[in-house]
C-alpha cells in the first residue's frame, strides 16, 4: 500500500464507520453502508494483543527465554478467550476475503463453496489510495485535512477530503478464531512439556493463518438523514 498518511489514519479510524459511504469496488461490487460499518467497527483489541503475544513468544523461544514465552502464551490464551466473546468476529468463507491489490495471496484450498468460519480481526490499516505526485490539489487537501484533524474538526476534515475526491483504502487483518485458539492452546501444552521447537512451529501456523480483507472508500459524508448522527459520533470520538 502506498502513500500512507499516518496522522490521518490514526485520527480517522475511530470515526470512519459513521462518516463514510463506500465506493464501488471492482473486485467485490458495491458495498452497503451497513457492510462497511460492520467491517470497520470490528477490530478486536484483545485479539490484536494475543496475536502480538504470539509473535513475542516465538521471539522469546528463539532467544532461549522460555519463562517469558510461557507467560506470553498464557496471556495470549486469556486474551483469545475474551476475544471469542467480544462479538468482533467476521463470519465468511476465506474465498470471500479480498486481499489488497498486488498482495501475494497464500496458497489455499478455498473455493467459492468453501465453508464460512469466524475470523478474528487482529489488525487494521488505513491508507490514502491516491498518487499525490500528479495530483497536487489532493496533496493540498490532505495537508488541510490533517490540520483540521489536529484542531478536532473531524467533520470538516472529511468534507475537505470529499471535495478533493480523495480515495482511502481500509485493510483488516484476520485469523481464524477457533483454529487460532486451538493452536495457541496446543503451543501452551508443548511449552509446558519443554517441547519448544514444536511449540514454535504451532505458533508459526497461527501467524501463517493471517489473511487480509481490503475495501476502498471515498471520503463521502453519509446521507442527509444520517449526517446528524455522523456529526455527533465524530464530535464525541
pLDDT, residue 164, reads 74
| Neighbouring residues of 76: CB distance < 8 A, sequence distance ≥ 6 | 49, 50, 53, 54, 57, 184
138-164 pLDDT tens trace: 778 778 877 877 777 767 776 777 777
Instruction: Report which of residues 8 and 71 the model is more confident about.
Output: 71
Question: Cα–Cα distance between 12 and 1 in angstroms, integer?
Answer: 17
pLDDT, residue 102, reads 77
Report whether pLDDT(200) > 80.
yes
Question: Cα–Cα distance between 125 and 100 in angstroms, integer?
Answer: 11
> Which three cell numbers mark 168?
482511502
pLDDT, residue 148, reads 77
Report whether pLDDT(20) > 60.
no
Mean pLDDT of 2-17: 43
61-118 pLDDT tens trace: 999 999 999 999 999 999 999 999 998 999 999 999 998 887 777 755 444 456 899 9
> Which three cell numbers mark 34?
451497513
pLDDT, residue 57, reads 98
Q: Per-domain residue ranges for the chain?
A: 6-102+116-236
Strand partners, 92: 117
pLDDT, residue 154, reads 65
pLDDT, residue 226, reads 40
Q: Comparing 6-10, 132-136, 232-236, which segment has the lowest mean pLDDT?
A: 232-236
Mean pLDDT of 183-193: 97
Report whether pLDDT(186) > 60.
yes
> Which three cell numbers mark 72?
506470553
| Fold adopted by 6-102+116-236 | 1.20.120
pLDDT, residue 181, reads 98
What order do you get walking across the sheet with 21-22 strand by strand?
21-22, 211-218, 167-176, 116-128, 90-93
Mean pLDDT of 52-64: 97
| Neighbouring residues of 191: CB distance < 8 A, sequence distance ≥ 6 | 61, 66, 69, 70, 73, 199
Q: Comparing 123-127, 133-137, 152-156, which segment has the lowest mean pLDDT?
A: 133-137
26-41 pLDDT tens trace: 344 344 444 444 555 5
pLDDT, residue 161, reads 73
Amino acid at each position: 500500500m502506498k502513500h500512507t498518511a499516518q496522522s490521518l489514519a490514526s485520527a480517522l479510524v475511530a470515526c470512519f464507520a459513521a462518516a463514510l459511504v463506500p465506493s464501488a469496488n471492482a473486485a467485490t461490487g458495491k458495498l452497503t453502508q451497513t457492510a462497511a460499518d460492520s467491517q470497520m467497527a470490528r477490530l478486536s483489541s484483545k485479539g490484536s494483543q494475543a496475536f502480538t503475544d504470539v509473535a513475542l513468544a516465538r521471539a522469546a523461544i528463539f532467544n532461549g527465554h522460555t519463562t517469558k514465552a510461557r507467560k506470553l502464551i498464557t496471556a495470549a490464551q486469556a486474551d483469545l478467550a475474551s476475544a471469542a466473546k467480544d462479538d468482533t468476529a467476521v463470519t465468511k468463507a476465506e474465498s470471500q476475503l479480498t486481499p489488497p491489490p498486488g498482495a501475494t495471496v497464500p496458497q489455499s484450498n478455498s473455493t467459492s463453496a468453501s465453508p464460512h468460519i469466524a475470523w478474528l480481526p487482529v489488525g487494521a490499516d488505513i491508507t490514502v489510495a491516491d498518487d499525490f505526485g500528479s495530483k497536487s490539489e489532493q496533496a493540498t487537501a490532505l495537508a488541510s485535512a490533517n490540520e483540521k484533524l489536529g484542531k478536532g474538526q473531524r467533520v470538516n476534515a472529511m468534507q475537505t477530503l470529499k471535495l478533493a475526491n480523495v480515495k482511502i483504502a481500509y485493510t483488516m487483518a484476520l485469523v481464524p478464531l477457533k483454529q487460532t485458539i486451538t493452536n495457541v492452546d496446543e503451543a501452551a501444552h508443548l511449552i509446558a512439556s519443554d517441547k519448544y521447537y514444536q511449540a514454535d512451529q504451532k505458533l508459526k501456523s497461527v501467524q501463517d493463518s493471517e489473511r487480509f480483507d481490503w475495501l476502498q472508500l471515498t471520503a463521502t459524508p453519509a446521507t442527509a438523514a444520517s449526517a446528524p448522527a455522523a456529526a455527533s459520533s465524530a464530535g464525541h470520538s
